[in-house]
Amino acid sequence: MRKKYLTLTVIASLCAISLPAHGEVLSSQTKMTLVKTITGAISPKSVRSSGTGLVSAHNMMYNHSITIYDANTFDLIKTIPDSVQLSKFGFSKYSTIYKGAPVEGSYSPDGKYLYVTNYAMYGKGYNREGHDTCSPASNYDTSFLYRIDLSSYKIDAVYPVGSVPKVVEVTPDNRYLLVSNWCSYDLKVISIQSQKTIKSIKIGRYPRGIAVSKDSKTAYIAEMGGNRIHVINLEDFSISYIPIGSNPRAIVLSPDNSMLYVTMNLSGKVASWNLLKNKLGRSVATGKAARSLAISSDGSALFVVNFVSDTVSKVRTSDMKTLQTIKVCNEPIGIAFDTPTQRTWVACYGGSIKVFDNI
């Protein structure tokens, strides 16, 4: 019996030696495998990982909610209605209960809060809902950004922003909230300390994607109705530009902040830009209407949803080669990479979330 036990022990040891440690396996060397489909009263425009065990889905005006999930078990932790009494937050002219339309979210670096943009507000006094085709001259209603306290899962602060706010990002130093306003053609910079807008920066037609450097000194803003990325110095708010090409939508930075990756919606490509050399890198066509993208924690792989192709693609960053393309669902629109679990979450606009292991 003991001999058998020793033999099994030796075999197990040899197997352990032959396999690389988890940390040594690059994301570009793994494959996406579906592990869970989440359904329910959801219509997720986007998903976002907190990096601390939570993933949120932002369900627009179709369900008027934010849903929070356990990143490990996939269990629904909380459904948060987007209803607020704005007068309780100092906006006295809004006397009744109002609803929003959650678009995108961003977690504070301390893990205490989730900030959520609302495509539009619904209630007394709101009668000019924004539209996908618009300009500041359209005079559509402005909206609000919500702050959700993650200890109570309640909306505990609201911030007036522009018309049809899309993306929100919290700077890593927890100093600013950055909000791109689709129909206002601007970026709002909100001070977390004062809880006030301190700067409105003109971007141009249809501002959308936002990425912030890990030192919190630089923000990158996609001008989706144009052909450039606005590079904003967050110390003096001076602006320069990256001529990335037509119709940039979503942006991510490599973990070392040396590379910038952008989805180009019309061409269905993902473009790269070398920030150290200040030059265009390689690009790859991933599918029709490349929308949101996420990057693995080791920076070796990108995950891209292709809205019209109904696919999700995995791209190797070293050579911008597509490693996998999976038919995922009808109209995949949002995507997030959860670092602790190394899983990829895909938001399907029609009412589901697909979760993939990378193994």
Q: Locate the domains of the chain by residue range.
A: 30-358
Question: Which CATH number does the domain 30-358 belong to among 2.130.10.10, 2.40.280.10, 1.10.150.120, 3.10.50.40?
Answer: 2.130.10.10
Q: Distance of CA 10 to CAs 15, 18, 252, Å?
A: 9, 12, 45
Type of residue at 106: S
Q: How far is CA 92 from its chain centroid?
A: 32
Residues written for the chain: 359
In the block, tokens 């006397």 appear at 95
What is the distance between the alpha carbons of residues 124 and 98, in angstroms, rounded to a whole number?
A: 8
In the block, tokens 């893990």 appear at 111
Q: What is the pLDDT of residue 24?
A: 75
Buried b (16+ CB within 10 A) or exposed e, 269-293: bbbbbebeeeeeeebbebbebbbbb
Largest distance between two CA atoms of the chain? 84
Q: What is the pLDDT of residue 107?
A: 98
Q: What is the pLDDT of residue 2?
A: 35
Q: What is the pLDDT of residue 12?
A: 36
pLDDT tens digits, one per residue of 153-195: 999 999 999 999 999 999 999 999 999 999 999 999 999 999 9
Cα angle: 20, vertex 25, 26; to 5 degrees? 160
Cα angle: 197, vertex 209, 342; to 5 degrees? 115
Q: What is the pLDDT of residue 206?
A: 98
Q: What is the pLDDT of residue 16?
A: 36
Averages of pLDDT over each 10 residues, the chain, 359 residues: 35 35 80 98 98 98 98 98 97 95 98 98 96 96 98 98 98 98 98 98 98 98 98 98 98 98 98 98 98 98 98 98 98 98 98 98
Given a contact cutoff of 8 angstroms between Cβ atoms, the answer to whether 101 and 118 are in contact is yes
Going by C-alpha positions, the residue among 65, 45, 34 that lies closest to residue 291 is 45
Contacts for 143 with CB less than 8 Å, ≥ 6 apart: 100, 117, 118, 119, 120, 121, 130, 160, 161, 162, 163, 164, 165
Predicted TM-score (pTM) of this structure: 0.93
Given a contact cutoff of 8 angstroms between Cβ atoms, the answer to whether 62 and 44 are in contact is no
Q: What is the pLDDT of residue 9?
A: 35
